[in-house]
Amino acid sequence: MENIELKCASLRAQIAATEFQLSALKQELEATEALRGAPSQSSTECSERKWPLSAEEYKRYGRQMIVSEIGLHGQLKLRSASVLLVGAGGLGCPAALYLAGAGVGTLGMVDGDTVESSNLHRQVLHRTKNVGKYKVDSAIEYLEELNPHTKYIAHREHLSPQNAPLVFRDYDIVLDCTDNPATRYLISDTAVLLGKPLVSASALRTDGQLMVLNNPPKPPGDPSGGPCYRCVFPRPPPADSVVSCADGGIIGPVVGTMGVLQALETIKVLTKTTNQDTHPALNQPLTADARPALHIFSAFSTPPFRTIRLRGRRTDCAVCSSQATVTLTTLQSGLTDYVQFCGSMSTSQVLTSEERVSVRDFQPIYTSKKPYTLVDVRDPVQFGICSLESSINIPITKILHGKIAKDVNATEQPQSSLPSEITSPDSTDPIYFICRLGNDSQLAVRRLKELGLDQDGQRYIGDIRGGFRAWKSEIDPEWPEY
């Protein structure tokens, strides 16, 4: 029974891939007929006028069409293409901006979030007046002013295994503009199962990565198809190693660079001719190396770019190999659990209620003259932005890797890589930890207790629940929010 199910899934994938190839051939036929002046059956507009593009479109796209790699042939392909961007944030905004500008016929955007002030330094389609508005609506409002020829479709929802196939099915190519592993695997799996090429990018702090996956989009089991996200990363990163832009930070031009490169790679995929074709302008066979690659960008390195060649599809891949276990059925039924697969970094239950204090309970301690130690576990850069008076800065990374090496000579102080304020065996002053959101501070408490610094319960060690976000909300409204 299992073999029959696998065969059915493989046949569905082959049908989807064949339909995609048929659609591409129809687009190419339409473009070729337009070039020779023959009427196209699928385009009434082309049959009613002498030229395949309007006069305004020739002016709008002229600088692009005179590039030999594009030409009129490529421009017509772009106009008949449909592109889906999953995410309307730091990556999706610049990618959508340049795809709309290039003249892509249909542009869809998926995002269930709303615009926040903290988005505006890097998410270039959103404006101050649109704070609180759906990101997809804010982005499309801008894009419609940029290029009214493109059709825009707003998907005001978060992507899920249940809705992903329905959303993807009407598009030719997908861009992954998200920022979490679970969604990345979902997007890649759906793209493979529906025969869609995928342009995936990521950015954090000063670095970025870019890949074109499932290109060409062959059915599962066909080794000539491009690798998928699971082929490159068969195992997700440890949940506690995943850092978001909100926690790790991001420089706007870095994520903008990666989004622009996504748009460029999308244009290359959409306008590319087959290996049997010749260059439309030079009349020469195409010989460019189309092997998959991982492009790595580091803003503060010289040179800033480097490329790593990727292997083809893995023979044991769970979605694109002949032994695939991920199918449309397992995906939509919920049998493929992406959150469980990637793990979840939840610190909400790390400590007991006795090990935590609210900001309101800590405020009288903070203003009193009673001895205590307040440790801010943010990194030095964030500590420099704002900090509470009398607090000391010990980054969470130092605490998690801190060691206590007790000397055999009991008369000497224990050797430690941590500051004496928290390691002194002579002090029973309570220690309070605080961070930005109240997550890292819990990990710090747990680590110090593992090192035995609570002196068998004689010394109180706890965290301030909610961190500086709660401090601003309940104690000091003027506290800087970043």
Give the residue numbers marked as catalytic.
245, 435
Distance CA 347, CA 402 (A): 20
Which residues are known binding-site members for ATP? 90, 111, 118-122, 135, 179-180
Extract the tokens encoding 230: 């699971």
**Binding-site residues from annotation for Zn(2+):** 228, 231, 317, 320
Gap between the Cα atoms of 260 and 391, Å rounded = 42
